[in-house]
Amino acid sequence: MRYIIIFLFIYHSISVYAQKVSISLFNDSNLKSAIFSIYSGEYKLFTGNDKSISIKKNDLVTVSDKSGRISVSVNSIPKGNFDRLDFRETDSTGCMKIKPVFPSLEPRRYKGEFKISLLGNKLLIVNVADIDEYIAGVVESEGGEKSAMEYYKTQAIICRTYALAHFDRHLNEGFQLCDGIHCQVYLGMSFFRPEIKEATKITSGLVIVDQDNKLVTAAFHSNCGGYTVNSEDVWSLPKPYLVSVCDSFCLKSPHAVWDKTITVRKWISYLRDNGFRNTETLKPCQLCFNQPRRKQYYSIGNDSVPLKKIRNDWELRSTFFSITNTDSTLVFKGRGYGHGAGLCQEGAMVMAEKGKSYVDIISFYYTNVKIIKH
């Protein structure tokens, strides 16, 4: 009973204070050292016990792991070693540029506050940001190609739904979401497309829920090739809102088709490794495969291999392919790019250009869902 009450309390707290989100930056890099510099606004660097170091606009603040503590220097002048650091803004206009030094990575700009500690012997940089700043940053990182406003609104609602559904994913590590593909890619604040910020603001708080008012798994991919897939064909688990739909919007988009050539010899060896029998007697034409609508398996006689496995093993763009042959080679003619479940980004862009609203687009790709204010 006590656990239920604690859970409800945490859930309630998250709902009420959902305006902020904490994200681990450069989470997939084993970060040892980084340089912080103020890009805009004003910041103070708190080092514990309410002590702070004042920093000015062009100061370079180097933060490094040093034998289990965090060393700080400002413009190469050492300021001491600390257990935790906290960059706090003095107003809400702050934006910080962070340049990882070890390993050396491209600098990124983020808004909000930054809490720095050591996790093992890597630097943990947690950005505490306004959720809509985060969403706009994710939309720009995940699908920021030039598009119509209704597409950006759609993508903002999807990214918000995904973030809120996974809010407790990293709580035991001291933050809510990471900035990698494990959660959602977040390469910085939205900087290049003001429409994205506007779309995020207009749709602020909106999320997609199923018939039981539960946040949906808002899956999306680049291009479905003409048919999206059922959830169970990708992740084993069926979801009533992730069911295959016929999509004619994406058929002329950049990732609509692909092809790849594999030698007959290599393909037969692959089939043998996957338990196919009598492979030495197979003729090239018997290796051909026709997939006008999405299938789950590639089969010859009673032997089969899941298309999902073929896609992974051969790093194909999708599982939606047919195979034709010449004497010594097989030509894989594929459609679409990505896992194929949920929203097809290139189809959604075309729908938006044709004047469909974000409600039309979301209801087209997710079956029987509702859009509500969280």
| Shortest CB 169 distance to Zn ion, Å | 5
| Shortest CB 163 distance to Zn ion, Å | 11
| Shortest CB 348 distance to Zn ion, Å | 8
Nearest CA among 32, 122, 42, 37 for reference residue 74: 37
Q: Which is nearer to Zn ion, 74 or 185 (CB)?
A: 185
Q: Which is nearer to Zn ion, 111 or 294 (CB)?
A: 294
| Shortest CB 329 distance to Zn ion, Å | 29
Q: What is the residue type of 181? A: I
Q: Which is nearer to Zn ion, 45 or 183 (CB)?
A: 183
β pairing state of 20-25 and 177-178 = parallel
CA atoms within 13 A on the CB side of 295: 15
Residue 335 contacts residue 311 (beta carbons within 8 Å): no
Q: Which is nearer to Zn ion, 34 or 183 (CB)?
A: 183
Between CA 249 and CA 96 the distance in angstroms is: 40
Q: Which is nearer to Zn ion, 61 or 131 (CB)?
A: 131
| Shortest CB 307 distance to Zn ion, Å | 17
| Shortest CB 257 distance to Zn ion, Å | 12
Q: Which is nearer to Zn ion, 49 or 172 (CB)?
A: 172
DSSP per-residue string spanning 46-72: EEETTEEEE--TT--EEEEEETTEEEE
| Shortest CB 151 distance to Zn ion, Å | 13
Q: Is the alpha carbon torsion for 347, 352, 353, 356 positive or negative?
A: positive
Between CA 58 and CA 8 the distance in angstroms is: 45
Contact residues toward Zn ion (CB under 5 A) are 178, 182-183, 224, 247, 250, 344, 347
Residues 6 or more apart in contact with residue 99 via CB below 8 angstroms: 34, 35, 37, 105, 107
Burial readout 12-31 (b: 16 or more C-beta within 10 A, e: otherwise): eeeeeeeeebbbbbbbebeb
| Shortest CB 343 distance to Zn ion, Å | 9
Q: What is the 3-state secondary structure (H, E, C) of 271-327?
A: HHHCCCCCHHHCCHHHHCECCCCCCCEEEECCEEEEHHHHHHHHCCCCCCEEEEECC
Q: Which is nearer to Zn ion, 182 or 266 (CB)?
A: 182
| Shortest CB 24 distance to Zn ion, Å | 8
Compute and round to an integer the Cα radius of gyration of the chain. Answer: 25
Q: Which is nearer to Zn ion, 229 or 344 (CB)?
A: 344
Between CA 365 and CA 347 the distance in angstroms is: 10
Q: Is the alpha carbon torsion for 19, 13, 124, 181 positive or negative?
A: negative
Q: Which is nearer to Zn ion, 94 or 226 (CB)?
A: 226
